[in-house]
Chain A
Amino acid sequence: MNYNERLSGNEAIAFAMKQIDPDVMAAFPITPSTEIPQYFAQYVADGEVNTEFVPVESEHSSMSACIGAEAAGARAVTATSSCGLALMYEMMYVAASSRLPITLACVNRALTGPININNDHSDSMGIRDAGWIQIYAENNQEAYDNFLQAMPIGEHPDVRLPVMICQDGFITSHALENITLLDTDSVKAFVGEYTPENYLLKKENPLAIGPYDLGCHYMEHKVQQAEAMKNAKARILEVAAEFEKVTGRKYGLFEAYQMEDADLALVLIGSSAGTAKAAVDRLRKEGVRAGLIKLRVFRPFPAEELAEALRHVKALAILDKAESFSAHGGPLFSEVRAALYDLEPRPRTVGYVYGLGGRDVTPDHFRSVYDRLARIAAGGDLGPVYTHMGQRE
């Protein structure tokens, strides 16, 4: 049964965790994800969950404790942001390579240098190659829905990978929205029990985890991990289909908005998609064939599907809410542009880096991007492919 509630993104995630009632939660506070362990600690204090809450002394330890717990045979969750995720960096690789389907609620925030608590995607983008599935949300509803889908995806025997459920710090984590929740029994039925084949506490068959892996096996293990990430794509779609049956809400690898006949398009991630949709709506009223793709799943990267969805586009802008200091554009730009390489003809593409450290982005910003795309589509110069948007001159 679905019912409506007004929740912030952090509340929505904490509430999803409460409904799932995981075995272990280990977390260390960091803005803007702090509220998640805070709400959860209150559920523990009030006896509303049966979870062991481990208030660790750092994020390095929260991920280490989650690894220990998940390896032991338990379902483990955590939440973090920014520098907290950066401190976990080493352990993120350990979690993924040990094939432990931990769920991490990532509330995206800019990385320090200088310190900044507002949203961009530099934290999760910086850790994109650690082997975690990454799913991003545009709004509170998607954050909640994605969190409920994380475990059925990650725990599946064909996948067995950890999952990051990302949402935009403050923009969705602290803003209240009316969202539709699933009743707890339905959540439990949807998420199911965690029943790993092998785990540390299994009586019959002791397990050793975390070997020293020599050259004669290491590569085989990495290939298995890569195969699991490939398998994840189909599983994400399966789980989305099951989720639609329960909730009526439809999810895919990305959302294509007004793309059927679009000549001009954007690809972007997260809450800015809502703002960009407003720009698309206005342009459509003016007769401009504008559309956008909001990427939901960044890992595994849906390269073939994106190429197919963008095949007919004349000019495309790819927007990164993260700098990679490659001097050639952000990570999303590089990967989306590469995905289009084998198309003939292929869209002409430009990249933008925007919204760093919470810099505001408005429909007018997107409007100016579409204006540029229109000139490119009409045969104009591509101009510089790597620029920034929204900064003061």
Chain B
Amino acid sequence: MERTYHFKHTLEKKERFAPGHRLCAGCGAGIAVRGVLRALKEEDRAVVGNATGCLEVSSFLYPYTAYEDSYIHTAFESAGASLSGVEAAYNALKRKGKVEGTVKFITFGGDGGTYDIGFQSLSGAMERGHDLTYVCYDNEAYMNTGIQRSSSTPRFASATTSPVGTAVPGKGQNKKNLTDIIAAHNVPYVAQTTFIGNFRDLYTKAKKAIYTPGPSFLNVMAPCPRGWEYPTEKLPEICRLAVETCVWPLFEVENGIWRLSYAPKKKLPVEDYLKMQGRFRHMFKPGNEWMIEAVQQSVDENWDKLLNRCNTNL
């Protein structure tokens, strides 16, 4: 953790994600972008990349861009590759003395563009070692097309292609553990975070990710009020509970060293997190207790595995 973090001072920095974008109230994507870009040094420029998704269609509607920095969107599955090309161009032009100053490369994708359709291009970019940061704003479904299930959607969640019916109780599969998968690429910096308290965790991880040479990956849980079905003002509470229940643990993997960023004093039961969201509503009907038990068991297993990896005994 950065000791010098000062919430008020970071908020005084010039915004690089301007107001006037069209994201929904209570959406995590805009918070993620704003928070990550705030970690840029003020004197540095950036090229921001973006996979197709809610963020893209809401932040760059011709002729208005919400970005103070240069920005490129190409397609849904190509954010990793497109930014690889930008970074390669920077290296070539820098060598020829055609670019001034430091430019950093940060790309954003939802879980659709990152866990699923863009997974190959992300993996390629990580493996090739481009000096860029890939940020997934993980809202656990294809929200832009109307809340279809993704490989990031948690088990039992209701989505429009994994609806709750009389025969099927929502999504049948567990969430893919993408942060682990990217860590297995042995890139210099991988971290998982969300919006907690004074944003210190997001800020410090974004700063490390952006300024660690080589590829880095941030997985940011970014709730979606439409898809998760919560009142917009409950976003911080949901993020807090995701962390306190260990559904979404905060950790980082720096040069292969796994480090837990936060351990709840008392791990809360998963119900506390699930009950705030309409997508899990059916799990609280009589006779469906087994679903909550199954989620608790899965969360416990993953948490233990993580503690083990982080060499942490609680």
Contacts and interface: CB of A to CB of B under 8 A. Distances in A.
A55 interface: yes
A58 B120 contact: yes
Contacts of B114: none
Given A52-B88, A69-B86, A72-B89, A61 B63 contact: no
Interface centre among B49, B50, B99, B101 (most CB of A within 10 A): B99
B83 A209 contact: no
Given A72-B47, A200-B47, A57 B124 contact: yes
Contacts of B57: 212
A67 interface: yes
Interface of B: 45, 47, 49-50, 56-57, 60-63, 65, 67-75, 77-78, 80-93, 95-96, 98-101, 103, 120-121, 123-124, 127-128
Contact of A217 (B62, B71, B80): B62
A90 B60 contact: no
Contacts of B80: 61
B89 A76 contact: yes
Contacts of B120: 57-58, 60-61
A200 B88 CA distance: 13
Interface string A51-76: 11011111011101111111111101
A54 B84 contact: yes
Given A60-B120, A64-B75, A65-B88, 12 more contacts: A24-B92, A50-B95, A56-B84, A57-B120, A58-B120, A65-B84, A73-B89, A73-B99, A201-B103, A208-B65, A208-B71, A208-B72
Contacts of B72: 67-68, 71, 200, 208-210
B70 A69 contact: no
Interface string A255-294: 0000000000000000000000000000000000000000
Contacts of A202: 70
Contacts of A210: 50, 56, 60, 71-74
B115 to A, nearest CB: 17
A217 B70 CA distance: 21
A214 B82 CA distance: 23
Contacts of A91: 74-75, 78
A24 B72 CA distance: 17
Contacts of A70: 85, 89
Contacts of B88: 23-24, 26, 52, 54, 65, 68-69, 74
Given A69-B86, A74-B92, A58 B70 contact: no
A234 B309 CA distance: 64
A380 interface: no
Interface centre among B67, B68, B90, B120 (most CB of A within 10 A): B90
Nearest to A195: B98
Interface centre among B62, B77, B128 (most CB of A within 10 A): B62
Contacts of B103: 201
Contacts of A200: 47, 70-72, 86, 89
B124 A201 contact: no
A67 B75 CA distance: 11
Interface of A: 23-24, 26, 50-52, 54-58, 60-62, 64-74, 76, 90-91, 94, 98, 200-203, 206-214, 217
A243 to B, nearest CB: 26
A307 to B, nearest CB: 38
Nearest to B125: A61
Given A201-B103, A203-B45, A206-B69, A68 B85 contact: yes
27 contacts: A24-B88, A56-B84, A58-B121, A60-B78, A61-B78, A61-B80, A61-B120, A64-B78, A64-B81, A64-B84, A64-B121, A65-B85, A65-B88, A68-B81, A68-B82, A72-B90, A72-B93, A74-B88, A74-B89, A74-B93, A94-B75, A201-B70, A201-B103, A203-B45, A206-B68, A213-B62, A217-B62
The list of the 10 closest CB pairs from A to B, nearest first, reads A68-B85, A65-B85, A57-B124, A74-B89, A61-B81, A210-B73, A72-B89, A64-B81, A64-B78, A211-B62
Contacts of B56: 210, 212
Contacts of B92: 23-24, 50-52, 69, 74
Given A64-B78, A201-B47, A76 B67 contact: no
Nearest to A201: B99
Contacts of B89: 23-24, 52, 68-70, 72-74, 76, 200-201
A76 B85 contact: yes
A9 to B, nearest CB: 26
A44 to B, nearest CB: 11
A58 B87 CA distance: 18
A210 B56 CA distance: 9
Contacts of A213: 61-62
A73 B45 CA distance: 15
A207 B81 contact: no
Given A68-B85, A72-B93, A217-B62, A94 B74 contact: yes
Contacts of A94: 74-75
Nearest to A26: B85
A74 to B, nearest CB: 4
A361 B96 CA distance: 48
B82 A64 contact: yes
A11 B92 CA distance: 24
A214 B62 contact: yes
A26 B127 CA distance: 15
Nearest to B123: A57
A64 B68 CA distance: 23
A163 B290 CA distance: 60
Contact of B85 (A51, A55, A66, A90): A66
A56 B70 CA distance: 24
Given A24-B85, A208-B60, A211-B61, A64 B73 contact: no
B94 to A, nearest CB: 9
A54 B92 CA distance: 11
Contacts of B84: 26, 54, 56, 61, 64-65, 68
Contacts of B86: 68-69, 71-72, 200-201
A57 B75 CA distance: 16
B78 A72 contact: no
A206 B85 CA distance: 17
Nearest to A52: B88
Nearest to A98: B74
A24 B96 CA distance: 13
